Structure 1
Amino acid sequence: MLRLITDFDGPIMDVSERYYRVYQFCLTEIRRPGQAVKELKKAEFWQMKRSRISEKEIALKSGLDETQAQEFSQLRRNTVHTQPYFEYDVLVPGAVEALLKIQAAGVDLAVMTMRRVRELDYAFEKYDLGKFFPENRRYCLSNDYVKTRDVDDKPLLMTKALAELPSAAATWMVGDTEADIAAAKKHNIQVMAVESGIRDRAQLKLYQPDFIVPDLSTAVNMILTSKVPTLSAKI
């Protein structure tokens, strides 16, 4: 049996609009009355996020001062994973088709995400994604889990998953961050990083995934056509 473990945000969900709306909200909330600020265009903002430019630097580039930048960063952290902002998440083009394709091929599917149960359930219900991932194939954080760092928390989820899931002849991980790569590497699982998420190619390359691909559709096609082991240029 072949297994694919996929991250949720990045490979399946496009979170760029949520992050941008939260950025706009925080900028509006933190600016002083009459203060001139420069609201970044979404494309510029998202590229800065994907390049791992800090929240403080984004705030400063937007015209806030040092003190405001700290306040901006804190407000963003407190807001980005709350309703109503999850409403702005949308499916990555081709993601559902890729899931249908690999499910039809008999590959065992599991999802592994830093979302909490209520956050994952919300998206599953909105986009009818439960058909791909039964409850025993969903690995996420409990609603009261105290997060540390994704690069620490995600490997713990992977440990739990591998202890519970039936054995597979081969397992692939698909994700869009260094946390996904770290989780896979810790357990000697092959990992594909996708460019459809919150890290750009340059950032992903730093963590040396087995492959960097544009999106989940490409990853699925590579796995199903058995081209993965023979590609001459990984990244």
Structure 2
Amino acid sequence: MINVLFIDLDGTILETKERHYKCYRDIIKSNGKPLNKDIYWQLKRKRVGLDIILKMSKYKYDEKNFLKEWSTKIENINWLKYDRLKPDIGKTLRYFTENDFKVILVTMRQNKANLIEELTRFNIIECFDKIVCCELREGSKYDMVKNIKYDDAFFIGDTEEDINTAKLLNIKSIAILNGLREKKFLQEANYFFYEVKDITVNKLI
């Protein structure tokens, strides 16, 4: 029997709020007025559109210009240094493995070399049986994993796409609430936990 645990990276395994905010602020500061970090993340978690955030930031250029600069910076090693592991992640990932789950990392990251370097630096790369990243600019998480075989599976993540991917795969989803989205945007998940480590405490897996 093949038991698979699909798990998202940013916001689920890694705390990435500092990197995202600093990258946003760096882009805005010369051509606008950056929002403070708390306000920025309140807007992001409420799913406020980038166009509105840029308008509130008095950004001089358009969304396309911002995204072009964002894509060149956000996965750069100099910015990845601001990421931190979520609480007890190494211990939790090993718990999943010890309970006979094949753990598959699924991320929209595009720079695989920098991804591998970061996972190695955090000493968690050996926790994954497979690493699936979006090396192309188009596609969805479902497209990335739809051909992976399993008998039973869960998908753990912090966004709507993670929940929708689970639905398309016809498996159960676990929403992490201390991530990118507020709970009201994740209502279709089967289970809710504040952090990944809380799953083991509740003996769900």
- TM-score w.r.t. length of structure 2: 0.87
Structure 2, gaps ≥5 residues long: none
Q: 2:158 maps to what in 1?
A: 176
Larger relative helix fraction: 1
Q: 2:126 maps to what in 1?
A: 131
SS at match of 1:172: strand
Indicate conservation of the 8 Å contact 1:174/1:219, yes or no. Answer: no
Q: State the AA in 2 paired with 1:141.
A: C
Q: 2:88 maps to what in 1?
A: 94
Indicate conservation of the 8 Å contact 2:157/2:176, yes or no. Answer: yes
CA distance in 2, matches of 1:69, 1:106: 45
Q: 1:106 maps to what in 2?
A: 100
1:214 and 2:198 equivalent?
A: no
CA distance in 2, matches of 1:53, 1:100: 36
Q: 1:231 maps to what in 2?
A: none
Indicate conservation of the 8 Å contact 1:139/1:161, yes or no. Answer: no
CA distance in 2, matches of 1:28, 1:76: 13
Matched pairs, number? 203
Deviation of 1:70 after TM superposition, in Å, equals: 5.8
Deviation of 1:202 after TM superposition, in Å, equals: 1.8
CA distance in 1, matches of 2:128, 2:63: 40
| Structure 1 residues 76 and 140: CA distance shift in structure 2, 3 A | closer
Say which of 108, 112, 122 aligns to 2:117.
122
1:194 and 2:189 equivalent?
A: no
Q: 1:84 maps to what in 2?
A: 78
Single out whichever of 101-110 and 74-83 deviates more from structure 2: 74-83
**Percent sequence identity over matched residues?**
23
Deviation of 1:119 after TM superposition, in Å, equals: 3.3
Indicate conservation of the 8 Å contact 1:4/1:174, yes or no. Answer: yes
CA distance in 2, matches of 1:68, 1:115: 24
SS at match of 2:104: strand
Indicate conservation of the 8 Å contact 2:90/2:127, yes or no. Answer: no
Task: Indicate the structure (1 or 2) with the bigger Cα radius of gyration.
Answer: 1
| Structure 1 residues 141 and 72: CA distance shift in structure 2, 3 A | closer
